[in-house]
Structure 1
Amino acid sequence: MNKKKAISFLTLFATVPVIANGVDRINGLDLSDSSRIHDLDEVVVVSQPKESFRLRQQSLSSNIFTNKEMSSLGIHDLRELSVYVPSFVMPNYGSRITSSMYVRGIGSRVNSPALGIYSDGMPIMSKSAFNYHFYDVNRVDILRGAQGTLYGQNTEGGLIRIYSKNPFDYQGTDLKLSLGSRLYRNAEFSHYNKVNNNFAFSVGGFYDGQNGFFRNQTTGERADKYNEAGGKLRLLYRPTDRLSFDYIADYQYVDQNGFPYGKIEEDGTTSSPSTNLQSSYRRNIFNTAFTVGFKANAFDLTNVLSYQYLKDYMLMDQDYLPEDYMHLEQRQLQNAMTEELTLKSHDAVGGFWHWAVGGFFSAQWLKTNAPVYFDSEMNKMLSANITSYAYNGMLNAMAARLIAKGIPAEQARRQIAAKIEEAGGCTINMDMGVIPGIFRTPTYNLAFYHESNFDLSSRLVATLGLRYDFSRTVIDYATSAEVKLDESVMGHNVNVSVASNLNHREHNNYVQLLPKFGLNYKLNNGSNIYATIAKGYRAGGYNIQMFSDIFQTELSAAAQKARGSLDDTHNDQYYENIANTISYKPETSWNYEVGTHLNLFNHALHFDVAAYYMQVKNQQLSVMAGNYGFGRMMVNAGKSHSCGVETTLRGNVFDNHLSWAVSYGYTRVLFDDYVDSVSVGGKKKAVDYKDKYVPYVPQHTYAVMADYTFDVQNSKLRTITLGFNLNGQGKTYWDEENTSEQKLYHVLGAHADADFGFMKISFWGKNLTNTKYNTFAVESAATGKKYTFAQLGNPFQCGVDLKFHF
């Protein structure tokens, strides 16, 4: 074994993406030199309207995935891709509405995301639309670290850019048919046509479904079955060498059972889901964008105008138990538009100054209809609580009179208890019914940004950037609740109704300046080292799922004092208190990073490593609401910090027959200042989480992948490829106290492909060792007793893909 091969094997287990194997020429780039690998950024060229340099030349940590790589790994959405990216977690749990993403220790399960997503230059505005089916995808870029200067709010952890295949560069018809265990089925069709040098188009569609892995033990249904489908159209027109138009329209629909959470038992095992109502989710999304590009003599102009529509329905059994405590229905209707204009200095002009300047505007109109239903078991529990409160109140008050006369306390209590029972006892039946709620939460964002890169010398580049970002968040809510009390107290019967109506409008304005500073020093062979400082920002907003908790607290107190029916009224001070309760502040951070991109051994090896430190203020956390935990809400911790290392290593050996890659990320994120109050025995208690790990963030993420291609001397069969992949995450804590955790786990996959030219057959398997692990866990005290529920990762599955290109 020669020196280069030995080095490649020794580094195989040190860190992701692989280069295309078995191909001699892509987009005119010669790949025949078996001693070299090439940047994927060179192989799959895409136009960047803001950046002046390719990814591995920039001062940031990133990964690139091509269509070939994602096909080899069996990637169908961003959740499945995330396990091959260091320090990036997007767990596969819940439903397509749940787009929880954590990068470098920041993120949350609700509201403001930690990463921004751009699809063909269009920013995806709704977090409920982040998790969608991949097809017709040519390339995915994942940029880690704050990208706020160029991309604004909610890119504090990084940015994901998704690109479709361009019919000017790729023509023909692609057809994919898949079948797998648990009746997994998938069909994808795309046609790409370059009509002439000025006009090209593509059209495609897909269907995807599976019967599911987890059976609801109460209803007998599969708790995670799903069906989804969609269609896509793209039109490109280039009337001149300077002017271009790009129109894209993408529609997707999903109908699925969701939230297959099972209780974590005392022995640590996770039981099967068992809810009396089967949770479900349906979603329609339609995203369309029109991009105009113009190449002037000194600069490139890009204008992107988009419209985005989302309509969905969610049914969730909120107690996750076979008993009928409570459930939630939620309907979202969103219309959004974005407008972004960017000017970038023309690369052909040269000079020492490379600049980009632009403006961005977005408006989202979101209406959420979210009634919460208090069901039979919940009303029984609430009735028992208020009955106990009323009974003990009477008992203690009447017994106190006897005690004042000198009768021993225990004897007095027995005498009064007997009199109450003789008079008819005390029984109060409480019925909360349904809590309707209409919430309108429009948000607006306006920003102006500039970034300059100065060539201080032939090797040293300095980056200076600044963004002015203004956002306005609004909540206009109309919600109400009514408690009906059927009281029978010592022979007296009375029906009492206590009602509350909340109808108000609140808003907050936020202004942020997002600077960026960087130095990049070029080494030989295209390598570089860099250092950056950047400010990150996640938007503030309002919680809507906690109103049932607010009502329960308010009406329970009113019902205990009521002597007749009443309608609880509210003054301005009360609404101000609610505004303070439901709002959460923006999260900001300063990000410090050093790293390098190295091309080693005459480009036989690519090695990327980055180390970072982040100081986070007002960290946003998703927790269960208030006293009762009837919904999730966002809160702000005081301060935290995150530090870690990310490495990526890839290479090709054996005349490009073996392609391999390894990645590893280490993340350590701790609370520096976070004091919360929890309910213990009905009393509030302060808990200090200083030096505790931030939940939902795995400390270690890694992935290993390798493909070996055999050339076949056969007129029909061209190559056979055998490959494997291994990924793992952990340890992950599920709560702020760090009492519940998922240890480091490992998931193994493999595939075998036979390439016949126009047709490829792939046999694949996932989780070959049937590893059992939890992708997510949450505590709930909706029933009055705290339980922990979790979703298991998917078990072993296998299948076959047939891919055709005509």
Structure 2
Amino acid sequence: MKKIIYPLLCASMFATAANADTAVNDTIECVYEMNEVYVYKPKEHFALSQQPLSSTSFNQGQLKNLNVNSLQQLSAYVPSFTMPVYGSRLTSAMYIRGIGSRVNSPAVGLYVDGMPIQSKSAMNFHVYDAERIDVLRGPQGTLYGMNSEGGLIRFFSKHPMTYKGTDLKLSVGNKFTRTAEVAHYGQVNDKLAFSVAGFYNGQNGFLHNKFNGERADAFNEFGGKGRFVWTPTDRLTFDFIADYQYMRQNGFAYGQIVTPEQIATANIMSPYYGLKAGTQDPNQNRQSNYRRNMLNTGLGIKYLGNGFALHSMTTWQFLKDYMMMDIDYLPMDFIHIEQRQHQNSLTQELAIKSRNDKAWQWTFGAFGSYQWLKTNAPVMFDKDMNKVMSKAITQYAYTGMLAAMAKRIAARLIAAGVPAEQAAEQAKIAAAAAILKAGGVNITMDMGTIPGLFHTPTLNLGVYHESNIDLTSRLRATLGLRYDYSNVEIDYATSARIMMNQKVMGQEVNSVISSMLAHKERNHFGQLLPKVGLTYRFDDLGSSVYATWSKGYRAGGYNIQMFSDILQTELSAASRTARGSLDIAHDEAAYERIARTIEYEPETSFNYEVGTHLKLNGGKLNIDLAGFYMQIHNQQLSVMAGNYGFGRMMTNAGKSHSCGVEASVRGEALNNKLSYAVSYGFTSAQFDEYADSTALGKMDYKDKRVPFIPQHTLGATADYLIAVSPDALLDPTNKFHLRSVTVGLNLAAQGNTYWDEANTLSQNFYATLGAHADGDFGPMHINLWIRNLTDTRYNTFAVQSGATGQKFAFAQLGNPFQMGVDFTFHF
């Protein structure tokens, strides 16, 4: 492994590299060379641009120019990839090629410095200390297992064996957006190196909660990480990493979507009077918020043998969070939920691969993980919800009583010779008068709190192999196979009760109807994940064409979000027939029905892909093209819980397909002063077989678009380097002298995106424009940046809620115009 000459200058040139897979050699004598086998490829043998897959990589210079500090911001510049803002860091949904998930198991895998992140709630984190981020598209199950069906993201921190010195970043922007990051990289000797880093990040927020005036999207977060690398011999390396982050945010800033029809028919008494059509500001009587503690630790061991390399990664991951959510998203007090997760995960992965220049390159590996997860999620039914339920049960009781009395009166009238139609009308009037005279019908209900405690441990085991065989000097075959086994369990304890006061025709009865559910369920799944690829290299720069067939897989499991709906349905049915207090009993048959209700099946897919990696103009122009077709079976969808819509649940659609094209161009021009990148993805994701039972009856969604998937994704960046004092580059002792200015523009666009299975809610295609100007003063950089320069108004996410008995649509607005300045130092 070679050391860096003038780290600051190398990093500056690294920012203009057209190909992140190669070392940088520019006009100034400087070497930035890494042991790529250790840092980047513990399993693979070849750089991403030499593999039969579609991918996008960002080095630290590109990340700096884009001014990103989250995977959500980065996703805008990757074709067919979206990670929208969903209200809080709890819901870290990622979608690639029409595959994704809002709840339960992820569909896109994430590795951070070789650590497989197990919890979906831990995937949306503050990005800093980053050297490189890779986004691999398409199933990566052979080497990375289940839940990487849509693709995989790999995050790499700066390595203390190759990067030296101290980095400091201070940033401030409008709405008091502020960031402070510091990191130090040191080498004790040739065998021991370390890095320590920390950050703080926050903002006052852009959206106000109209109900109480609070900032609906304010947040604060901080964290720190440490890394120690020890190479006692030339063959053996130990790499220990610990990364802690804390987040507290006001979340779920959803405002109601008001339609033009509602505005047109509004009068002075209407809640829509005086409003404009579109997404309103949040207006919730309870401010939703989210807090999260998470710690990821890992010990990586590498041993270089004679003809092989052995890699081991052992991790312990801890997450503890708290979420409070106003589920109705309205100023009325209907329903809210509190959820606390406490998770511990252990993972162990062992990979051994060949280390030679022979025609056959191989990798064998084994993976195991065990996750303990306890979720405490009480659902609170508040006063306005109790009023709605009381009104509904009163109307039900009154209607039933009225019909029974009218039937008896009508029979007597018909017997007295009154015509049937006239008798029915008179009987109904007489029955209503009799009920009113006797005191009427009035039933009040109090649902209270539905507690819920859920233990959901998960075991996963996998073994895999991949071979790369050179059939000729230019043609390579890739053959892979993995077997994944997962065991999922749920141990639940939840209950509910309704206290009823029934005043019926002068008689008053107080009763309590209750139900308790406590049971254990388990299930297990096994899956073979094959992969076959061919790569043909047709020039010495590495340009190639490829074709790949692979299988993706996402394990099944159990929903915990829908127990309140199950209990509410059960109690509501009992309250209509019960004549006193009742404790609903459950036998094994009842628990079997509940098990079938809460479980969902594994999702599988087959991916067919062809593409090309082109390196032109001496490697300064890189073009990647890919076309794909995916067949998805039992697609897992996040939908509102069945009858009442109190929460999200996972269900399976029958069949769907996703097809599209991806293109990216990255290069340099004008004597390397201009660097540019353009990416575009087209994705058509449709249901082939999917029918669902709704309040309106059975709905057939065949040929409807799969929700949450933008049909078009477009990203573009251009950066131009203006040399101010070129001679200063050759004199690293010349401190704080303006060397150059880099000006840049970036464009992020996506749409059309549907938010529901019926395709009634959507976000049209939209674009946001950003700009920056970076001044290089040697050890210091000053970067002025702007996001959403055109102040484009758009929705990042929309949801329908039926918590109040009516269905409303709500959405989260994207951030408006933002501007700020960064000060970065390296010394």
Q: Same fold per TM (> 0.5)?
A: yes
> Deviation at 1:106?
1.0
Which of 153, 160, 169 does residue 167 from structure 1 map onto?
160
Q: What is the aligned counterpart of 1:380 among 368, 377, 387?
A: 387
Letter in 1 for 2:92: S
Counterpart of 1:778, as a letter, is: V
Q: Which residue of 2 aligns with 1:479?
A: 494
Aligned ranges 1:219-618 → 2 under 5 Å: 219-267=212-260, 268-346=277-355, 349-405=356-412, 406=414, 408-524=423-539, 525-618=541-634
Greater relative contact order, per chain length (Cα 8 Å cut-off, separation 6+): 1
Question: Is residue 141–residue 482 contact of structure 2 (8 Å, CA) maintained in 1?
Answer: yes
Change over 3 Å in CA distance of 1:372–1:391 after alignment to 2: same
Q: Secondary structure at the match of 1:526?
A: coil
Alpha-carbon separation, structure 1, partners of 2:20 and 2:366: 39
Name 2:4's counterpart in structure 1: none
User: What are the superposed Cα offsets for residues 212-257 of structure 1, whole Å, 9 maximum, x if unpaired?
Assistant: 0000000110000000000100000001110000000000000110
Counterpart code for 1:738: N
State the partner residue of 2:265: none
User: SS of the residue aligned with 1:561?
Assistant: coil
Question: Where does residue 815 of structure 2 map in the other structure?
Answer: 794
Counterpart for residue 710 of structure 2: 698
> Which structure 1 residue ranges, 4+ long, deviate > 6 Å from structure 2?
22-28, 38-45
Give, as a single letter, the amino acid of the residue that structure 1 aligns with 2:149. Answer: E
Change (3 A) 1:565 1:486: same
Deviation at 1:649, TM superposition (A): 0.3
Distance 1:740 1:24, change over 3 A: closer
Among 765, 768, 771, the alignment partner of 1:750 is 771
Structure 2 CA distance for aligned equivalents of residues 154 and 64 of structure 1: 21
Aligned partner of residue 297 in structure 1, secondary structure: coil
Per mean C-alpha deviation after superposition, the further-off stretch among 379-388 and 24-33 is 24-33
- Deviation of 1:750 after TM superposition, in Å, equals 0.3
Tell whether 2:176 aligns with 1:183. Answer: yes
- Contact preservation (8 Å) 2:20, 2:57: no
Q: Deviations over 1:403-433 (max 9, x none)?
A: 1121611111111111111111100001100
Q: CA deviation at 1:23?
A: 12
- Distance, in Å, in 1 between the alignment partners of 2:20 and 2:581 is 81
CA–CA distance in structure 2, aligned partners of residues 514 and 27 of structure 1 = 30
Q: Distance in 2 between matches of 1:21 and 1:91?
A: 28
> Which residue is 2:269 aligned to?
none
Task: Say yes or no: does 1:128 pair with 2:121.
Answer: yes
Report the AA paired with residue 31 of structure 1.
Answer: D
Paired letter, 2:583: D
TM-score of the aligned structures, taking structure 2 as reference length? 0.93
The question of whether the paired residues in 1 share the 8 Å contact of 2:18 and 2:620 is answered with: no
| Structure 1 unaligned blocks of 5 or more | 1-17
The 3-state SS of whatever aligns with 1:577 is helix
Provide the C-alpha distance between the structure 2 equivalents of 1:33 and 1:735, rounded to a whole number of angstroms.
54
Q: What letter matches 2:642 in structure 1?
A: G
Match of 1:30 in 2: 25
Is the 8 Å Cα contact of residues 396 and 413 (structure 1) preserved in structure 2?
Answer: yes
Partners of 2:94 and 2:746 in 1: how far apart? 22
Mapped partners of 2:203, 2:605: distance in 1:
41
CA distance in 2, matches of 1:149, 1:235: 30
C-alpha contact (below 8 Å) 2:69/2:127 kept by paired residues: yes
Question: For residue 149 of structure 2, what is the aligned residue in structure 1?
Answer: 156
Residue by residue, what CA displacement relative to the aligned partner does 1:168-191 show, whole Å, maximum 9, x if unpaired? 100100000001000011100100
Number of aligned residues: 780
The alpha carbon displacement at 1:20 in A equals 2.2
For 2:792 and 2:48, locate their aligned partners in 1 and report how far apart those are by CA, in whole Å: 35
Q: Is the alpha carbon distance of 1:19 and 1:269 closer, same or farther for their aligned partners in structure 2, counting shifts above 3 Å?
A: farther
- After TM superposition, the structure 1 = structure 2 runs for residues 652-671 of structure 1, keeping only pairs within 5 Å, are 652-671=668-687
CA distance in 1 between counterparts of 2:780 and 2:488 reads 52
Whether the 8 Å CA contact 1:23–1:31 is kept in 2: the answer is no
Structure 1 Cα separation of the partners of residues 752 and 659 of structure 2: 16
In structure 2, how many angstroms separate the alpha carbons of the residues matched to 1:478 and 1:376?
A: 25
Change (3 A) 1:39 1:320: farther
Compute the displacement of 1:28 (Å).
6.7
- Kindly provide the amino acid, as one letter, of the partner of residue 535 in structure 2: N
CA deviations over 1:110-142 (Å, ceiling 9, x no partner):
111111000111100000000000111110010
Structure 2: how far apart are the matches of 1:409 and 1:39? 92
Query: Secondary structure, in 3 states, of the residue corresponding to 1:410?
Result: helix
Question: Is 1:723 paired with 2:763?
Answer: no
Alignment counterpart, residue 712 of structure 1, candidates 696, 708, 724: 724
Say if 1:216 and 1:223, in contact at 8 Å, map to a contact too. Answer: yes
Q: How much does 1:41 deviate? A: 10
How far off its partner does 1:93 sit?
A: 2.5
Give, in whole Å, the separation in 1 of the partners of 2:26 and 2:707.
44
Q: In 2, distance between residues paired with 1:73 and 1:313?
A: 32
Amino acid at match of 1:354: Q
Structure-1 separation of matches of 2:722 and 2:37: 24
Q: One-letter code of the match for 2:476?
A: V
Choose 715-724 or 577-586, whichever is displaced more: 715-724
Q: Deviations over 1:599-648 (max 9, x none)?
A: 12332311000000000000000000011100000000000000000001
CA contact (8 A) 1:778 1:788 kept: yes
- Counterpart Cα distance in 2 of 1:333 and 1:80: 28
For residue 678 of structure 1, what is the amino acid of its counterpart?
A: T
Letter in structure 2 aligned against 1:755: D
| Preserved contact between residue 187 and residue 206 of structure 1 (Cα < 8 Å) | yes
| Cα offset, 1:44, TM superposition | 11
Partners of 1:41 and 1:54 within 8 A in 2: no
Post-superposition offset of 1:738: 1.1
Q: Check 1:726–1:656 CA distance in 2 against 1; reply closer, same or farther (3 A cut).
A: same
Whether the 8 Å CA contact 1:24–1:32 is kept in 2: the answer is no
Q: 1:146 aligns with which of 115, 139, 164?
A: 139
Q: Secondary structure at the match of 1:97?
A: coil
The 2-side partners of 1:797 and 1:47 are apart by 35
1:633 aligns with 2:628: no
SS in 1 for 2:576: helix
- Computed over aligned residues only, the root mean square deviation of the Cα atoms, in angstroms, reads 1.9
What CA distance in whole angstroms lies between the structure 1 residues aligned with 2:349 and 2:44?
15
* Distance in 2 between residues matched to 1:207 and 1:339, nearest whole Å: 31
Q: Specify whether residues 577 and 22 from structure 1 end up closer, same or farther in structure 2 by C-alpha distance, changes over 3 A only.
A: closer
The alignment-based identity, stated in percent, is: 59
How far 1:491 sits from its partner (Å)? 0.6
For 1:253, the aligned partner's letter is: Y
Whether the 8 Å contact between 2:135 and 2:153 is mirrored in structure 1 is yes
Distance of 2:545 and 2:100 partners within structure 1:
28
**Separation in structure 2 between the aligned mates of residue 729 and residue 30 of structure 1, nearest angstrom:** 35
Q: 2: CA distance between counterparts of 1:586 and 1:224?
A: 35
Residues in 1 aligned to 2:153 and 2:33: alpha-carbon distance in whole angstroms = 16
In the alignment, the residues of structure 2 paired with residue 593 and residue 323 of structure 1 have an alpha-carbon distance, to the nearest angstrom, of 51
Deviation (angstroms), 1:595: 0.3
Unaligned 5+ segments in structure 2 are 1-12, 261-276, 729-733
TM-score (norm 1): 0.95
